[in-house]
Structure 1
Amino acid sequence: MTLEIRPLTDADVDSVVSLWQECGLTRPWNDPLADIRRARAVWPDLLLIAKDRDALVGSVMAGYDGHRGWLYYLAAAPSRRGEGIGRRLVEEAESRLLALGCPKVMLMVRAGNDAVLEFYDGLDYTRESTLLTGKRLIPDA
């Protein structure tokens, strides 16, 4: 496998959204195109893709607010799972966050998604006992 990890470009957007849909990461209340646009406006080098030759095989969106880093939309093509693509994307996102001085990275996992929790357990992430609350400021749908 010749895996290239790099920031997303305009030419990658449709393929990334398709990957997110294939992996079940999109939700009707979040417009993935708006998520991409917003992320690239703030940290364009933290929305990463993984390509094997010409095939898009993974993505991750990272963010940093000056206090914590966050990971979103980690995806590996279902036909390519188990090859280390997700691990490589997380490692690259962590490396970029660390270079920005980010002291800790967090992520959200939907309740009941045990396979994802186990994946992050294997990357030395610690399950936190924090509860999240949210408020939508700009409706996407």
Structure 2
Amino acid sequence: MHVTELPEELIDAAADLWHQAGLTRPWNDPHEDCRRALTGEESTVLAALDAAGRLSGTVMVGQDGHCGWIYYLAVDSRQQGQGLGKLLLAGAEDWLRQRGVPKLMLMVRQENAEVQDFYRELGYTDQDTVVLGRWLDTELQAGLGAEADTVVSAGETQAEG
């Protein structure tokens, strides 16, 4: 297993993985999120690939000049518990360190205690920050109903191990 930048031909597989992991939202196009990260100067998508080149996990990483952010950290459910989440996270941290980024941030839903524990075990701590949001596309918001009240974040992660 090795971590490398996601090959363009695996964008569909990455989007499928994110969907299976419950990370996608109806208002976000995961294919476009992936393409944007891969073509951006301050972001990329890292992939855990097996010896045959099959996708086992991903993490999207980017930086805004002050801190780094990770999104879409997901590991194939059949391969969880083998350390792939940790491997991908380490790859994202290294990517940010190489760019001189001093701090990494991420968001996890409050009810997702298992994933919060995953990060805490790796040294991540709660931040004294409140995430606020506002819908700019009120027609889209209305069409989503109660789901629109869910925090909008590709950073919600599902990785195990």
Superposed pair shares fold, TM > 0.5: yes
8 Å CA contact retained: 1:70, 1:105 = yes
Question: Does residue 31 of the first structure (1) align with residue 29 of the second (2)?
Answer: yes
> Which residue of the partner structure matches residue 99 of structure 2?
100
Instruction: Provide, for residues 37-56 of structure 1, a one-character-per-residue CA deviation record: whole Å limited to 9, x for no partner.
Output: 22122147631000112321
Structure 2 partner of 1:70: 69
CA distance in 2, matches of 1:69, 1:63: 6
Paired position in structure 2 for 1:119:
118
Distance 2:115 2:128 in 1: 17
Structural RMSD (CA): 1.9
- Note closer, same or farther for the CA distance 1:129–1:45 as it changes in structure 2 (3 Å cut): closer
**What residue ranges of structure 2 are gaps of 5+ in the alignment?**
141-161
C-alpha deviation, 1:91, in angstroms: 0.3
1:110 is aligned to 109
Show the counterpart of 2:79. Answer: 80
Task: Work out whether 1:132 is the aligned partner of 2:131.
Answer: yes
Considering fraction of residues, name the structure with more strand. Answer: 1
Residue segments in structure 1 that go unaligned for 5+ positions in a row = none
Aligned equivalents of 1:5 and 1:109: distance in 2? 23
Which residue in the other structure is 1:22 paired with?
Answer: 20
Secondary structure in 2 aligned to 1:46? strand
Indicate conservation of the 8 Å contact 1:7/1:45, yes or no. Answer: no
Cα displacement (A) at 1:10: 1.3
Bigger CA radius of gyration? 2
Question: 1:7–1:44: 8 Å Cα contact kept in structure 2?
Answer: no
Q: Distance in 2 between matches of 1:118 and 1:102?
A: 24
Q: Quote the Cα distance in structure 2 between the aligned partners of 1:127 and 1:93.
A: 19
Structure-2-length-normalised TM-score? 0.79
Percent of aligned pairs with the same amino acid? 43
Q: How many residues align?
A: 138
Match of 1:53 among 51, 54, 60: 51
Letter in 2 for 1:35: D
